[in-house]
Structures are given as structure tokens and as C-alpha cells.
Chains A and B, each alone.
Chain A
Amino acid sequence: MKSHSPSPAIADFAIALAPIPDPFAREGGEALPGPARRPLSPSPSRSRRRALTITAACAAVLYEGAGLAFFKTRPDLGTTSLPLVALELALPLGVGVVALMAAARKGRLGLGEPAVRLAAWVIGAPLAFAVATLSFFPHDPSDAAFWSRTQTCVLVTACLGAGPLVLAALAVRNAFAAAAGWRTAAIGVVSGALAASTIALVCPDGGALHVLIGHGAMMMVMGLLAAGLIGRAARI
């Protein structure tokens, strides 16, 4: 297999790269052209952008509330095991918080988390959700209606996640200078996680496989969609 690590002899990059002169030093130092024009079109300042982000987040929560009112809360909410419902709510919310922190962290240089760490959070958090779901939730009763129930939940979760995803797309326009794909994927996972939490209050089916596919899979789907659809708009 081809080795990708540099030779130990070139461990010190400063020494290895030092003897190479800069062929563009002179041209780079030539008189600069003035700016074509001073930007006249208004652009949001930091405080306006923060206000826009907070507004989008509040609107996403309101959208989930409206979705809950539209699809109606599950009928067994007062009778079923409360810890299980709490877990069904908390697990995707935890994934959402982790993904949101990964996307929002500024990092030492203000360029966000390093891509590899972002990738670990964006992929790792939903995977942890999958492991926890399969470990803590009861097995699904084997019946013929499993796939139709799950399919319905996938559609409802997609509807619940679409609103936050659109709002996120508006909020993160021109927001990321580096690793925009991974950061928008994290935003997509947050939208999916919000929807997965809301559907836990709608759907009474608490079977492990149903929760995993019908509710949780949308986190990964939204992550992929976000990276593909809004990644370019979010990149500066």
C-alpha cells in the first residue's frame, strides 16, 4: 500500500521548505489597483446577522409547534412510559445540540472546527443515536403494517424538517469561509434532529427499528440534502 506519511527526514517543514525562493515576490509587491468601487450595496453587519440567526431559530421552533398542532400529539401521551418518551425526545435533541455546536463553533482562527472534527461530529452523533435507539428501545412487534407505518413517519418527519432546513438556508447564506460542506451538513442534521424530536410527540410507535428508520434517519438525509443544496450558498 502506498504510504501517505512524509519521510522522517523531512519532519521539520520550516527547514525542508526554506531554500525555495518566492518567484512572485516582485510582482506581488507592485502597485495595487484600487478597489473597482467601494461596495455600495448594503450587507448585514454582525449584529444584524446574529438577529437574523436568532429569528430563524425561533421561527424553526414555531414551525415545529405548528407541525405538532397540525399532526396532533400522540393519544397515549398520558398512559405510556414517560421515561421512554423523554428518551425519544432527548436523544435526537442531543444529536441536534452536538451538531449545532459543531457548526457554530468559530475555532481559533474564526474558520470553524477543523474539517475532520466536523466530520466526526456530523457522522458520529447520528450513529450514537442509532446505537442508543437500538439499545434502549423495545424491539418492534413483527406485523405487516410496520413498513407502511414507518413510511408515513418518514414523510411526516420530512415535512417537519423541511421548514427548519429552509430557514437555516436563509440564515447561513454567505456564512462559512472554510469546510462549508461539512458545516451545512451539520445544520441539516440539526433540522432533522428537531423534526425527529417533534415526531416523538406525534407517533405512538416506540419500536427501536421504527424510531431509527421512521424518525431518526431523517437526520442523515437532511444532512446530505443540506450539504448538497445549501452548501454552495453558505460558502463565502
Chain B
Amino acid sequence: MSELREDVARAYPASIPDESRPDAPPSDALSSVMDRYARGEDPAFDDLYRLGAPRVRGFLLRLCGDLALADDLMQETFIRVHRARGSFAMGAAALPWMLAIARNALRDHARRVQVRPGTRPVDRSAHEPAQREAPPDARGDEVLAGQEMLEVVRNVLHDLPSQQREAFVLLRFEGMSVREAAQVLGSTEGAVKVRAFRASEALRTALAPGRRRAT
């Protein structure tokens, strides 16, 4: 699997999450903007959106796999953030708070879909991965192998139970600790570990060389 990962890294460098996330805004900047907004400074909303929206959208996209739905739910999340800004604790971390709200928005959407069949369900087929542009110096076999691996990961993530997917996404792609993920999910650390472990096992099984070719 490590060879494949190297292929993916060469063909699509952005898909390998950087543990330090240099592209992400510093979370303390987001927290201080959220703090200003919670104090009642309305103009801080623009900064809050600029800093927080990419993280919220990425999180929602990884959970639902549908870009249009992720965008809708991101807007819903920011409306909820606005309504509840007074309950943001002074000195608290804004990102886990916002991700917890985004997760609530997604769960409410899923519930609405169950109750009202007319509501738009998560439709992954409408948003199949676009043809990715690999760097010009990438080899063809690397590109193919990378594409294949990303597709397998995408499919397995989609098929996972939502609780496993949430735990895995928070730990692996959002770079949270088990304790932080447990707080965002309103669960215990043990439960989060077990869910993420099961998700990673499903992914590792699907990515095992023989199995991957078969799928």
C-alpha cells in the first residue's frame, strides 16, 4: 500500500494530508475572529467566513461526498453560527465548535431526507470526481494508480456507517486528537477510537493490492 500511496503523492500531492496543514488558517486566528463576532462585532463575519468556510466545507464534503450539498450545508452552518454566536465560550477553540455545528446541520439534513422523501438526498453520482489534473511530469501509471486509489477511498468512505466516517474524517483529515474528536462528536474517546479503527480497517482491506484490482 505504501507504493500506491507514493504514486498518489506524486500524481496528486494535495490528496496527502499534511499533518501541520500549512494551507489552513491558524486556528487561533479563527478563534480570535469568532471571539470578536461573539462579542457583537458584526463586521467580523466576513473574516470569519473567509477563515472558517474552507475548513467547514472540506469537512462536510468528506462526510457527504457531494459538493453542492456541502456548499448548502456550509451556508446553513454559518447561519447557525450567527444565531448562536453568543454561546461561543470566551477563549475556546472555534474550529471544533464550528465542525460540531456543521455535523449537526448534516445530521438534520439526513433526518429530513428520511422523513420527507422529496428532500434532495445525498447524490454522489451527480458529483463523480472530476478528471483530476496531474502534474505534467507525472508518469501515466502513477496517475492511473493514484486515481484508482482515491476512487477506492472515496467509495469506501461513502459506504461506511456515518459514525465511523465522522470519526475517521476528524482524526485523519481534520488532524484532530481523539479527545477533540470525541468532544465534537459528543461521544467517548474509546468509541471514537473503535469507530476510526473500523473505518481504517475497511479502507486498508479495500486498498489491499489483490482486492483493489478485483474492485
Contact = CB atoms under 8 A, between A and B. Distances in A.
B179 to A, nearest CB: 8
Given A26-B12, A46-B90, A109-B180, A13 B97 contact: no
B171 interface: yes
B96 A115 contact: no
Interface string B1-39: 110010011001011110100010000000000000011
Interface of A: 4-7, 10, 13-14, 16-17, 19-30, 32-33, 35-36, 38-39, 43-50, 106-112, 114-116, 174-180, 182, 235-236
B122 interface: no
A235 B103 CA distance: 11
Nearest to A44: B86
Given A32-B57, A46-B88, A21 B78 contact: no
18 contacts: A4-B194, A5-B194, A17-B196, A23-B154, A25-B15, A26-B130, A39-B45, A45-B85, A110-B89, A110-B96, A111-B96, A112-B183, A114-B182, A177-B101, A178-B100, A236-B80, A236-B81, A236-B104
A87 B85 CA distance: 40
B115 to A, nearest CB: 14
Contacts of B101: 177, 236
A105 to B, nearest CB: 10
A111 B183 contact: yes
Given A21-B153, A236-B87, A13 B171 contact: yes
B83 A110 contact: no
Most A C-beta atoms less than 10 A away, residue of B19, B91, B188, B189: B188
A111 B38 contact: no
B17 A109 contact: no
Nearest to A176: B87
A175 B2 CA distance: 45
Interface in B160-215: 168, 171-173, 178, 180, 182-190, 193-194, 196-197, 200, 203-204, 207
Among A10, A17, A236, the most chain B Cβ lie within 10 Å of the Cβ of A236
Contact of B200 (A16, A43, A48): A16
Given A28-B61, A110-B92, A46 B183 contact: no
Contact of A21 (B8, B49, B88, B91): B8
Contact of B75 (A7, A20, A36, A50): A36
B120 interface: no
